[in-house]
Amino acid sequence: MTGHLVHTLPEGEIVWGIASLGDEVYVLRPKGLDDIEVYDAITYRLLRCLTVPNSHGFADMTVCEQYRLLYIVDPIVTCVHRLDLHGHATRWAVIDKPYGISVNAAHNVLLTCPAVRKIKEFSSYGDLLRELTLPDDVINPWHAIQLTSGRGDQMSSGQLLVCHGEADDAVHRVCRISADCGHAVHSHGGQRGSATGQYNVPRHLAVDSNEFVFVADVNNRRVTLLSPTFDHARHVVFGDKLKWRPRRLHLDTRRRRLYVADNEFKDGEICAGRVVVFSV
């Protein structure tokens, strides 16, 4: 079963992040003003815009349902912008260049720093709580999500889902890594390729309440769905439903809507984008 196309949001600037909260969807685009477009989650009507003040660049965005906050990654000045839903903003420094972002069950912020192969955990106020160094064979990690539940006799709480691999890397995988980041519990992928069990730059992840994992496979122009133990994989979004390449994902678990950032890569640069919505 593949994802059913529900809607496409307007084309425009590059889409660097997607999030949802309640009945609203947030789309991050670099515009200088009105960087975050806010849409109705049912009608997809544009409701309003928010500005990320003093931003220099974007890489990703996530939302904290508990505190009703948006977090935006700024890799240029190596910081995280923290916005409430009225647009009031603060920010904190990361030091190492951040890329992917997520929020865990403790409502803390997880940042993925590819160059140093680290996951950094911050409080909602920007206090650094811990740093985890990924295993040696996890090269160029892009995005990490921390799991929260236990499945049978295998307790997954605290384990990390991580996708890694840049275009020139030999290995492109999705890994399920132990809570202390000491070793990979499961992995899917390997040598770069286009077969069902392969990836070509797996850039971003989303996970549902049953720990099924959605993977944005950029250069293969598809989204792959993995079972919790990575025993089974199938493609749920194919290139014929995309105009360009998928680089960011967001899953609205309540509505079973998968939001895919479909960005154009031309002459060595990302130059345009849109959001494609699928029922999954």
**DSSP states of 2-58 as a string?**
-PEEEEEPPPBS---EEEEETTEEEEE---SSS-EEEEETTT--EEEEE--TT----
In this prediction, residues 211-240 reach a mean pLDDT of 95
CA 227/CA 236 separation, integer angstroms: 12
Residue 19 confidence (pLDDT) above 50: yes
Residue 138 confidence (pLDDT) above 50: yes
CATH number of 15-253: 2.120.10.30
CA 100/CA 29 separation, integer angstroms: 16
In this prediction, residues 80-101 reach a mean pLDDT of 96
In this prediction, residues 97-125 reach a mean pLDDT of 97
- Domain borders along the chain are 15-253
pLDDT band of 157, cuts 50, 70, 90: confident
- Residue 110's H or E segment, with its range, is strand 109-113
Residue 278 confidence (pLDDT) above 70: yes
Helix/strand/coil (H/E/C) assignment for every residue in 178-226: CCCCCCEEEEEEEECCCCCCCCCCEEEEEECCCCCEEEEECCCCEEEEE
Residue 3 confidence (pLDDT) above 90: no
> For residue 137, what pLDDT is reported?
94
> For residue 219, what pLDDT is reported?
96
Name the burial class of residue 32, with classes exposed (0-12), middle (13-18) and buried (19+) by CB atoms within 10 angstroms of its CB.
exposed
Residue 106 confidence (pLDDT) above 50: yes
In this prediction, residues 232-243 reach a mean pLDDT of 94
Q: What is the mean pLDDT of the chain?
A: 94
Residue 152 confidence (pLDDT) above 50: no
> For residue 267, what pLDDT is reported?
78
pLDDT band of 11, cuts 50, 70, 90: very high
In this prediction, residues 30-48 reach a mean pLDDT of 96
Q: Pick from 80, 74, 83, 89: which is nearest to 110 by CA? A: 80
> For residue 30, what pLDDT is reported?
94
Phi and psi angles of residue 199, each rounded to the nearest 5 degrees, phi first: -135, 160
CA 81/CA 99 separation, integer angstroms: 13
User: pTM for this one?
Assistant: 0.95
* Ramachandran bin of 107, using left for φ above 0, alpha for ψ from -120 to 50, beta for the remaining angles: left
> For residue 64, what pLDDT is reported?
97
Q: Cβ(63)–Cβ(78) under 8 Å?
A: no
Q: Which two tokens stand for residue 149?
A: 């539940």
| HSE toward the beta carbon, residue 79, CA cutoff 13 A | 15
